[in-house]
Structure formats: structure tokens, C-alpha cells
Amino acid sequence: MGKVICAGLGPGDPDLMSVRSWRAIEGARHVAYFRKAGRKGQARTLVDGLLPANATEHAMEYPVTTEIHFSDPEYNRLLAAFYDKWAETLAEIATREDVVVLCEGDPFLYGSFMHLYTRLEGRTEMEVIPGITGMSGCWTATGQPITWGDDVLTVAMATLDEDELAARAENTDALVVMKIGRNLPKLRRALERAGRADDAWLVQHGTMPQQKVRKLSEVDGPVPYFSIVLIHGQGRRP
């Protein structure tokens, strides 16, 4: 019997991958990873040069990403069928040998692997290797601590409606907002309503060679979906 091993890859810089994930990947016989159809995929890119030459690759291509709004029942139907299929495939491989699933950031923090994990529980042995989160890589890139003392940190998705984003921003000390992309105009309005817009930073491609760290007020034009907006807490700062 093998097992399903989910390797957290960290925030983007391969040097920030844990030793345990590194060892699992370099010894893998089967490697699975999520990607958008027609793309190599960020997770697969991060392990270039690390996979054994004889490893069998399993590209798990999403049937839909942003083409349909996530509130549409069809979106949920397509993704549920996709996760069902790949849970079945991974479980079958694990009856013979280990299979390593690559996951950017930390698998248990908004990671797609969670949808496979819940389907595989009780069916096969699993190991989840934690990783440094993308948000941690981004707030470190700003050169400022994200929290001090007893600051409260809130993590929100920019996909929330404007009223909810404004309320979350107003009622926290430190703030992380993920999944920016075309949600940026809505997020700007929410931060302005909360009186927090001038304190916000935007980080693109955190820890990677193309990293950009700017005050949100200096950002003009579209930004990638996986950008992160940060507001630092000031609680007990000297």
C-alpha cells in the first residue's frame, strides 16, 4: 500500500520549500498537480529540475476557473465532478505506491487539495506537509511586521461583497485580502469607506523574481488574481 502525500511548496521561491517537501518530491514516482488547461501550472513550475526523470506526472486540469461565477450551480457541479474523479484516481494509485500532490503555499490554507482530502479521508493513508503561506511571504516582502502585541489579524477574500469587505477592514487591526484581480476596484472602494486605503500595500508574485511591492495608492491598472493586499497592525509598536 502507498499513500497520498500533499507537499506544501511555500509562497513561490523554491528556496522557501521545506526540507520534508523537497525530499518527498525528489523521491516521487508519481506527482500530481493542479493547473489551468493549456498552462504548465505554477506548482509544476516551482519543482522544475527537482522531479526524478522517471516520475509519472498527473496534470489535474480545472474544468473551469473564472469563466463561470462561483455562485453558479454549474460551477459547483463541474468542480465537484472534477474533484471526485481525481480523488478516485489518486486513491487507485495509492493502492500500489505513493503519489505526491503539489500544493502552493500551505495545503490547509485555502488550498485546492482540501477538496481532495475530504474525499480521500478513510479511503487511503494521507500525509500533509505544511508550507510557508503566500501571505507570509508577501508581508515579509513589505519589510514590516504584519502584527504587533495583541493586534487582531483578519484574512478576507476580495470576492466578498463590498459591504462585507468594508466592515472587515474597519473592524480589525491588521488585514490580508487575497484573490484580487478584477475585484480590485471594489476592494479600493471598501477600504476607502473603512478609512484604511492609505495604509494598504499590494504585493504581486510575492517571493518570486518578478515580485512587486507597492502602496496600493500607487497601483494603476489591472493586477493578477493571486496578488495580495495588506494592512499592517500598529498595536504595540514602539
Tell which residue, 186, 150, 182, 181, has the closest CA to residue 168.
186
Tell which residue, 188, 186, 183, 212, has the closest CA to residue 200.
188
Give the CB-side neighbour count of residue 104, counting CA atoms within 13 A.
Answer: 22
Q: Which residues pair with 122 in a beta bridge?
A: none
Inter-residue contact 11 to 105 (CB < 8 Å)? yes
pLDDT in single tens digits along all 238 residues of the chain: 899 999 999 999 999 999 999 999 999 999 999 999 888 999 999 999 999 999 999 999 999 876 677 778 888 999 999 999 999 999 999 999 999 999 999 999 999 999 999 999 999 999 999 999 999 999 999 999 999 999 999 999 999 999 999 999 999 999 999 999 999 999 999 999 999 999 999 999 999 999 999 999 999 989 998 899 999 998 865 5
Q: Which helix (H) or strand (E) holds 116?
A: helix 113-120
Q: Cα separation of 204 and 226, whole Å?
A: 7
3-class SS of residue 105 = strand
Q: Which residues contact 87 (CB under 8 A, 6 or more apart)?
A: 116, 119, 120, 123
Query: In the structure grid, which three cell numbers stand for residue 2, read together?
Result: 502507498
pTM of the entire structure? 0.91
